[in-house]
Amino acid sequence: MAIVRVDEVSRHYGEGDARVVALDRVSLDIERGDYTAIMGPSGSGKTTLLSILGSMNPPTDGRLLVDDIDVYALSQERQADLRREYIGFVFQQLELIPYLSALENVMLPLAILKESGKRERALDALCRVGLDERKARRLPSELSGGEQGRVAIARAVVNNPPIVLADEPVGSLDQTTGRQILTLLRELADGGHAVIMVTHNPESTAEVDRVIQIRDGRITCDERPEICTLPEEEGEALPVGGVAG
């Protein structure tokens, strides 16, 4: 059974003349171990879809099921709990807290828990992305872009959530470090996490299992990357679940 099920989800912003349809009856399933890229032109609804998947942006219509739980039927506080248990975020611009050390940034999701061994868990997560204890003590500003990306990923997985969401995770990084981060995400998917990433760049999809193309709030292609990462003008012609290639 899919860890994430998006069922006929629509999202409108604003009212009347100012009404924008950011998502229009989108449905999709995502399995554990899937490494998925969401692609599409600017303003197509990628971030909106990701925030709905992240249980922090209630859709106007439709349902989101995470592990068979109807997320937006829960109270706000229960939605927060669900985010903590099920979802790890890697934000655009990484969004590390500048006044906390790398280790403390990774411990953030654990700070509200009343259990011991938080430090060890955070160090372990940092170790898995290739950062040692010496680097862990540094502030984000004292780390390279690639290292900051690793810290952001460690923070996303420290709770061992089944789902990892990433919004343009390599947008701010150079090519080499960007590729390292993408490989780390690949490893997470191989380790059983469902990894969903938003990206503009077709090159970022080299290692993904699946690409979801959206345009004007609709899914225009949902296939293997070789099929869906055609230039956007041509992608227009492809039907959903395109048969070309």
Ligand X SMILES: Nc1ncnc2c1ncn2[C@@H]1O[C@H](COP(=O)(O)OP(=O)(O)OP(=O)(O)O)[C@@H](O)[C@H]1O
**Residues within window 147-166 making contact with another protein, judged by CB under 8 A:** 155
44 binds, among Mg ion, another protein, ligand X, none (CB under 5 to 8 A by kind): ligand X
Nearest residue to 31 via CA among 213, 193, 157, 199: 193
108 binds, among ligand X, Mg ion, another protein, none (CB under 5 to 8 A by kind): another protein
Q: Applying CB under 6 A, does 48 fall inside the site for ligand X?
A: yes
Q: Across-strand partners of 197?
A: 37, 166
Q: What is the sign, positive or negative, of the torsion defined by CA atoms of 49, 51, 53, 58?
A: negative
**Residues within window 20-79 making contact with Mg ion, judged by CB under 5 A:** 47
Decide: helix, strand or coil at residue 8: strand
* Concatenated DSSP letters of 106-164: HHGGGTT---S-HHHHHHHHHHHTT--HHHHTS-GGGS-HHHHHHHHHHHHHTT--SEE
Instruction: Determine which residue in the list 4, 89, 147, 157 makes contact with another protein, applying CB under 8 A.
Output: 89
In the bound state with another protein, the residue whose beta carbon lies nearer, of 66 and 238, is 66
Write each residue from 118 to 137 as x if it is in contact with another protein (CB under 8 A), else as -, in one continuous string: xx------------------
Q: Applying CB under 6 A, does 204 fall inside the site for ligand X?
A: no
Radius of gyration in angstroms for the set of CA atoms belonging to the chain, rounded to a whole number = 18
Q: What are phi and psi of 62, to 5 degrees?
A: 90, 180
Where does residue 154 rank: exposed (0-12), middle (13-18), buried (19+ CB within 10 A)?
buried
Write each residue from 166 to 205 as x if it is in contact with another protein (CB under 8 A), else as -, in one continuous string: -x--------------------------------------
- Contact assessment for residue 244 and residue 224, using Cβ atoms and an 8 Å cutoff: no
Q: Applying CB under 8 A, does 99 fall inside the site for another protein?
A: yes
13 binds, among another protein, Mg ion, ligand X, none (CB under 5 to 8 A by kind): ligand X
- Neighbour count for residue 237 (Cβ, 10 Å): 10
54 binds, among Mg ion, another protein, ligand X, none (CB under 5 to 8 A by kind): another protein
Query: Which one of 42-50, 69-77, 145-153, 229-237 is the stretch in contact with ligand X (CB under 6 A)?
Result: 42-50
Write each residue from 66 to 85 as x if it is in contact with another protein (CB under 8 A), else as -, in one continuous string: ----------xx--xxxxxx
Distance (Å) of CA 97 to CA 57, 73, 108, 124:
23, 31, 9, 20
Least distance (Å) between residue 180 CB and ligand X = 23
CA–CA gap between residue 220 and residue 119 (Å, rounded):
44
Residues that bind Mg ion in the complex, under the rule CB under 5 A? 47
- Which residues in this chain contact another protein in the complex, by CB under 8 A? 47, 50-51, 54, 56-57, 76-77, 80-85, 87-89, 91-93, 95, 97-100, 104, 107-112, 118-119, 155, 167
List contacts with ligand X (CB under 6 A): 13-14, 20, 22, 40, 42-48
